[in-house]
């Protein structure tokens, strides 16, 4: 039983500071949706607005078709997993999990049974009577999730739940959370600053910066077809070239930079006057001896090579000393190029993007 969430023109103001700026998005029922962005981008504020702890200054939030304006947090069909988990320290595990049922007047036996059922779902059987202090970080996570699931919410809201965990546990929990979401089919809204997490777990990702939604798309699209410079820089690595558009030709254009003039794909909304840059991902450039005709080409000299196991990170410099990065797969076919050797760095026009810079953040309240 899950619901769709619709944010229509939602804004949040704290005094004269606009934390969330006209966010419009519809999250589908049963979807795993992530809000991704750096600290201070407004994603936590959105979460607190959806759960009801902050009222939007403008705009409407609708859950399952019902407008949430004026509905207090304890009456909303949402369940929030806090960043510090907020498990009740004075109650044992099963009481924590069944708290939502207790406040709804469910009798003790049913609550206990439900708690044990949920403990099995989150893979913690037999922990019902333990105290919170006895649990490890990962176990507490799962209890928090079980507690939220107990009230059968239509929407689960997760506030950077994995940020406090160590690397191995984080990776394990990523898979767990995804599995739980698929099993229960509840709509998950997940916020994080970790792009790997967002891309790995989500059906769709909303990238945010300075209170604005920069792009909403599937992880592949976010990575392969970022909508603007911010998204491209925030997600994955880039070689970034400043310059000017010279000519346009439908979906492609030529872009003149200090390293040469290249053909590339035009990103959305790029006009001749919008400031834009050229983005080439390291794994999409290659080092060759002789460049194919008509390809984008930069003569470079290898500066430093880092063998990282499954791929090789190659730092190069062009004639002017400009530093660039190439990432090559270690599939045995490529030899590791020695520093000082000269090659041509080539990349296909389809793998280069001309993207507009992020729009300047709103100064004060929008009129």
Partner 1 sequence: MKARSNFLFHAYMVAFLAYMLLPLIVMGGAAFNDSRFPSVYPWVGWTDRWFLDLWNDGRMWVAFRNTIGVALAVVVMSVPIGTAAAILINSVGGTARSVLYGFMIAPVLTPGAVIGISTLLFWNKFSVPAGLHLSAVGQTSYISAFVMLLVLARLQSFDRALEEAALDLGASHAQVVRRILLPHLYPAIGAGAAIAFFQSVENFNTTLFTRGTYDTLTVYVFSRVRSGITPTINALALILVTLTIIGALWYEISRRRTMRRLALRPAPA
Interface with partner 1 (CB under 8 A): 51-53, 72-75, 78-80, 82, 84, 86-90, 99-100, 102-104, 132-137, 140, 147-148, 150-151, 164
- Rank residues 140 and 210 by Cβ distance to partner 1 and give the closer one: 140
Shortest separation between residue 82's beta carbon and partner 1, angstroms: 5
Shortest separation between residue 151's beta carbon and partner 1, angstroms: 6
Write b or e for each residue in 51-82: b if 16 or more Cβ atoms lie within 10 A of its Cβ, otherwise e. bbebebebbebbbbeeebeeeeeeebbbbbbb
Rounded Cα–Cα distance for residues 91 and 59 (Å): 39
Shortest separation between residue 99's beta carbon and partner 1, angstroms: 6
Shortest separation between residue 80's beta carbon and partner 1, angstroms: 5
- Rank residues 31 and 159 by Cβ distance to partner 1 and give the closer one: 159
- Rank residues 68 and 150 by Cβ distance to partner 1 and give the closer one: 150
- Rank residues 33 and 99 by Cβ distance to partner 1 and give the closer one: 99
Rounded Cα–Cα distance for residues 73 and 58 (Å): 18
Shortest separation between residue 150's beta carbon and partner 1, angstroms: 8
Shortest separation between residue 192's beta carbon and partner 1, angstroms: 18
Strands (E) in the chain, as ranges, are 5-14, 17-27, 32-36, 58-63, 66-67, 78-81, 155-159, 187-192, 204-209, 212-217, 239-249, 252-257, 260-266, 276-280, 286-288, 296-307, 311-318, 323-329, 342-347, 352-356
Q: Are strands 352-356 and 260-266 parallel, antiparallel or unpaired?
A: parallel
Closest-CA residue to 259 (of 318, 316, 301) = 318
Helix (H) or strand (E) holding 102: helix 99-102
- Rank residues 18 and 114 by Cβ distance to partner 1 and give the closer one: 114
Shortest separation between residue 137's beta carbon and partner 1, angstroms: 4
- Rank residues 172 and 342 by Cβ distance to partner 1 and give the closer one: 172
- Rank residues 103 and 288 by Cβ distance to partner 1 and give the closer one: 103
């Amino acid at each position: 039983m899950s619901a769709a969430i619709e944010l229509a023109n939602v804004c949040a103001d704290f005094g004269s500071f606009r934390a969330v700026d006209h966010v419009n998005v519809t999250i589908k029922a049963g979807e795993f949706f992530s809000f991704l962005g750096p600290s201070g981008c407004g994603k936590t504020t959105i979460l607190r607005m959806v759960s009801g702890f902050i009222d939007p200054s403008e705009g409407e939030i609708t859950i399952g078709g019902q407008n949430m304006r004026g509905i207090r947090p304890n009456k909303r069909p949402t369940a929030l997993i806090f960043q510090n988990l907020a498990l009740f320290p004075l109650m044992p595990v099963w009481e924590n999990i069944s708290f939502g049922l207790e406040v709804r007047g469910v009798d003790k036996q049913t609550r206990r049974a439900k708690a044990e059922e949920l403990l099995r779902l989150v893979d913690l059987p037999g922990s019902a009577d333990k105290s919170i202090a006895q649990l490890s970080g990962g176990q507490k996570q799962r209890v928090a999730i079980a507690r939220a699931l107990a009230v059968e919410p239509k929407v689960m809201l997760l506030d950077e739940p994995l940020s406090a965990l160590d690397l191995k546990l984080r990776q394990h929990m990523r898979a767990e959370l995804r599995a739980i979401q698929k099993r229960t089919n509840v709509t998950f809204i997940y916020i994080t600053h970790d792009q790997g997490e967002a891309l790995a777990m989500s059906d769709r990702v909303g990238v945010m910066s300075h209170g604005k939604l920069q792009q909403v798309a599937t992880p592949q699209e976010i990575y392969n077809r970022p909508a603007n410079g911010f998204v491209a820089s925030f997600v994955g690595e880039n070689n970034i070239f400043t310059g000017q558009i010279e000519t346009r030709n439908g979906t492609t254009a030529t872009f003149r930079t200090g390293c040469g003039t290249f053909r590339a794909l035009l990103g959305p909304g790029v006009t001749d006057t919008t400031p834009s840059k050229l983005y080439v991902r390291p794994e999409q450039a290659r080092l060759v001896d002789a460049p194919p005709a008509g390809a984008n080409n930069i003569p470079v000299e290898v500066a430093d090579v880092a063998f990282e196991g499954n791929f090789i990170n190659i730092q190069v410099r062009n004639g002017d000393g400009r530093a660039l990065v190439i990432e090559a797969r270690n599939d045995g076919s490529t030899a590791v190029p020695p520093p000082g050797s000269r090659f041509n760095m080539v990349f296909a026009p389809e793998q280069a993007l001309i993207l507009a810079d992020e729009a300047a953040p709103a100064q004060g309240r929008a009129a």
